[in-house]
Amino acid sequence: MINHSRFVTGAPSGIGLQLATTDVNAVIGGYLRDLAFAQSSQPKMFGYKRAAAAILALEEPFTDLVGPDGALPRISGIGPASTRVIREILDTGESPTVEHAIEQSDRRADIERRRQLRRHFLSRAEVRRVLSDPTFAGPSLEQYQGDLQMHSEWSDGRPTVQEIADACLQRGYQYAAVTDHSYGLTIAGGMSMPEAAEQRRAIDAVNAWGGARFKMLQGIEANIDTTGQLDLTDDEAATFDVVLAAPHSRLRRSEDQTGRMLAAIAHPAVRILAHPRGRITGSRAGVIADWDAVFALAAQRGVAIEIDGDPARQDIDHTLASRAFEAGCVIALDSDAHTTTQLSYAETALAHARLAGVPAERIVNCWPLDRLLAWLSNPSSEGRR
Ligand SMILES: [Zn+2]
């Protein structure tokens, strides 16, 4: 039986209290992912990964979904074996079943490594809790005016630019930047310059339709190469309304890459350092760098440091974001959406900004369009405050 009251009332039971104050869905999702990686059968591994993903995407903490009689809810994608693990975690805060499976596998070291790579990731339910908790000083969803990283059919995204505009208007945005990959990143369907010119005409049509209600910017997600240079010439970069620079290689190295990141920020066209580390939950740590040095240069130049809200990225997280803010950086909060439903990933970025205590004033997405455009044409105007 579940001692339901422990989680609801926060009765002074060590583990129950801990679960009541932590991101319970992240704890459950983590154990289910551990269990996935302890499997030798591929179908079982994928099954537990799916179960973990279903828990991490729940809108409510699991503790709120338990019936008064202790019954667990039925959730699509979660089978009886996963349910047993969830029951153990709700009862005790841990899962002997998962620990036993890890013991039986020969993968303990790999699983411990993956556990370290899940730090400072929020579940969807935790994102919603942080957004609705008035004690955080950071930006609210209502203050968020537009999203500055997303992908369309012109690279590896699904929607047309018109579908993106419709979805952004439904979310109440004033503006958005479509930021497809540039041609150097062929693996992500990078857009050639002739394609970019064609996309520009499609965006012009969206803006003619949107009028004063909505402004779509043509951005580009340039790839930062191993030396910190971009996969665009200066003339090519100048054709876009906003240039994001992001690392997509050398993301599993242990050596310091501060120089690479400083070079990218020093590039005169760059306005946003996107998913700065390139980390992926439970998989890779991304770029290792002296982030305080990177933030100091970004603050000086007025380059925004991004919090990428893709649930698997959450890059940078709130711990680094508070250091970027302290250094004087402006911050960008973006979804990195590849479908229109993924535009909600911006909320993950907002939650990290709230946890980091970054005020709306220092978040480029919370500015009115005229201030955003002024910053894009002269970034140092918003440099260190
Ligand atoms: Zn990227």
Which H, E and C letters describe 210-269, residue by residue?
HCCCCEEEEEEEEEECCCCCECCCHHHHCCCCEEEEEECCCCCCCCECHHHHHHHHHCCC
Q: Determine the pLDDT at residue 6.
A: 34
Q: Determine the pLDDT at residue 2.
A: 38
Q: pLDDT tens across 234-243, in order?
A: 999 999 999 9
pLDDT at 21 over 80: no
**Model-level pTM?**
0.93
Distance 138 CA to ligand 1 centre (A): 25
Distance 221 CA to ligand 1 centre (A): 7
Q: Tell me what the mean pLDDT of segment 191-202 comes to.
A: 96
Range list of H helices, the chain: 4-9, 14-21, 24-37, 42-56, 80-92, 96-104, 108-116, 124-132, 161-170, 193-210, 234-237, 258-266, 291-301, 318-326, 346-356, 369-377
Residue showing tokens 């740590």: 285
Q: pLDDT tens across 320-347, in order?
A: 999 999 999 999 999 999 999 999 999 9
Q: Tell me what the mean pLDDT of segment 246-263 comes to.
A: 96
Distance 189 CA to ligand 1 centre (A): 12
Distance 232 CA to ligand 1 centre (A): 15
Q: Determine the pLDDT at residue 3.
A: 37
pLDDT at 9 over 80: no
Distance 246 CA to ligand 1 centre (A): 6
Distance 206 CA to ligand 1 centre (A): 24
Distance 304 CA to ligand 1 centre (A): 15
Distance 248 CA to ligand 1 centre (A): 6
Range in 177-186, 221-230, 295-304 with the lowest mean pLDDT: 177-186
Distance 70 CA to ligand 1 centre (A): 43
Q: Determine the pLDDT at residue 18.
A: 55
pLDDT at 83 over 50: yes
Distance 275 CA to ligand 1 centre (A): 7
Distance 272 CA to ligand 1 centre (A): 12
Q: Tell me what the mean pLDDT of segment 44-48 comes to.
A: 96
How far, CA to CA in Å, does 80 sit from each of 40, 77, 85, 87, 266? Answer: 19, 10, 9, 10, 53
Distance 278 CA to ligand 1 centre (A): 8
Distance 366 CA to ligand 1 centre (A): 22
Distance 263 CA to ligand 1 centre (A): 18
- Spell out a b/e string for 2-27, using b for 16 or more CB atoms within 10 Å of the CB, else e: bebebbeeeeeeeebbebbeebbbbb
Distance 234 CA to ligand 1 centre (A): 20
How far, CA to CA in Å, does 74 sit from each of 48, 52, 64? Answer: 16, 14, 13
Higher pLDDT, 11 or 88: 88
Distance 108 CA to ligand 1 centre (A): 31
Q: pLDDT tens across 367-385, in order?
A: 999 999 999 999 988 877 6
Distance 179 CA to ligand 1 centre (A): 10
Distance 69 CA to ligand 1 centre (A): 46
pLDDT at 13 over 70: no
pLDDT at 5 over 80: no
Confidence category of residue 220, pLDDT binned at 50, 70, 90 = very high
The mean of the pLDDT values for the chain is 93
- Reading the block at residue 182, the tokens are 């540039």
Q: Determine the pLDDT at residue 70.
A: 87
Q: Which residues surround ligand 1, an ion (CB under 5 A)?
A: 246
Distance 312 CA to ligand 1 centre (A): 12
Q: Determine the pLDDT at residue 17.
A: 46
Distance 341 CA to ligand 1 centre (A): 18
Q: Tell me what the mean pLDDT of segment 225-240 comes to.
A: 96
- Report the percent of the chain where pLDDT is more than 70: 94
Distance 120 CA to ligand 1 centre (A): 20
